[in-house]
Amino acid sequence: MFISSIPKASSTKGLARRALLLLPLSLLSACNTIVMNPAGDIANQQADLIVVSTLLMSLIIVPVIALIIIFAWRYRRSNTSAPYKPEWDHSTRLELVIWGAPLLIIIALGLITWISTHLLDPYRPLHRLDAQRPIAANTKVLEVQVVALDWKWLFIYPELGIATVNELATPIDVPVRFKITASTVMNSFYIPAMAGQIYAMPSMQTTLNAVMNKPGVYDGFSANYSGAGFSNMRFKLHSMDQAGFDAWVAKVKSEASPLDRATYLALEKPTVKDAVRHFNSVETNLFDAVVNRCVEPGSICMSQQMHADAHRHPGATVEHQLAVASKAEICTTPTNPVKTN
């Protein structure tokens, strides 16, 4: 009876060992691999860059790890047959391999980095929809103005005269140019399926050019800690065909909720887990006023102040300088309050 139970116990231990080995794989199965399987061409090129860089680095890492194991086993204390050369100190061939191979890898990585840095520059207009389709000369770019608020995202479509909170929609195979800023603190605008992250900073405007090639609903979020509500600062990107996008625009325009300066100032106040909101009209130059920090009535735009500082004359008052700047028509305060389509 005792003897017959030994194989069973051994079998149980074997199953437990296999289950333990499979545990890391089961944990990895829940990972979202959207970074390596994106839906946009820019993110696809970035994923390819990660793969190529990893393979190039593996040409050094893998042999070094393998040699460490081989040397440790071959020259272990109990292996008396291994040659013992305490006076050995140099090998020209070994030196060439040790220094030459990493140098070639570094040169290759440097060349790839230099090329990709220019090709994938977020400010650079797109030249293709994907690897097989270049962008036609007369293709119209969809502009979306992005404002990182505390703690939500505001998206303005200036050419369509609409805006949304925590919801973004783009048609597939249409180049999109994001103009990005922040209301108070720095954030990071990131849609892994579409392109790499880019900072959203107050009083500044950054730009991201990207395109979506597959329909679906994808996650977007801030990748830069910005306070208490940061972890809930998320939105959905709806990538759809042109007909679906036109229907979405029509739905947003059907809602009677304009986005003027007063509404923006209320929206700018810190909140957490904001619901999706739609605005069927947007005040003219609102985004420029956000960038120049002059949304509040009577406030001085930064561009206006900087122009006054650049043209300051000795003895002139601040009021006089601002009056000169106002005549230069560089303040972004609009005269027509609401734009509707």
- Set out the domains of the chain in order of their start, with CATH numbers: 133-291 (2.60.40.420)
User: Which residues, 6+ apart, have CB-to-CB distance to 235 below 8 Å?
Assistant: 152, 153, 166, 167, 168, 219, 220, 221
Going by pLDDT thresholds of 50, 70 and 90, the confidence category of residue 88 is: confident
Quote the pLDDT of residue 282.
95
How far, in Å, are 9, 18, 21 from residue 14 at the CA level?
9, 6, 11
Query: How do residues 32-82 score in pLDDT, each as one tens digit?
Result: 689 999 999 999 999 999 999 999 999 999 999 999 999 999 989 889 888
- Which of 18-22, 94-98, 188-192 is predicted least confidently? 18-22
**pLDDT, mean of residues 246-270:** 93
User: Which residues, 6+ apart, have CB-to-CB distance to 126 below 8 Å?
Assistant: 41, 42, 135, 175, 209, 210, 211
**To 5 degrees, how large is the angle CA 24–CA 28–CA 32?**
170
**pLDDT of residue 338 exceeding 70:** no
Quote the pLDDT of residue 49.
94
Quote the pLDDT of residue 299.
86
**pLDDT, mean of residues 147-171:** 96
Quote the pLDDT of residue 164.
97
DSSP state of 240: E
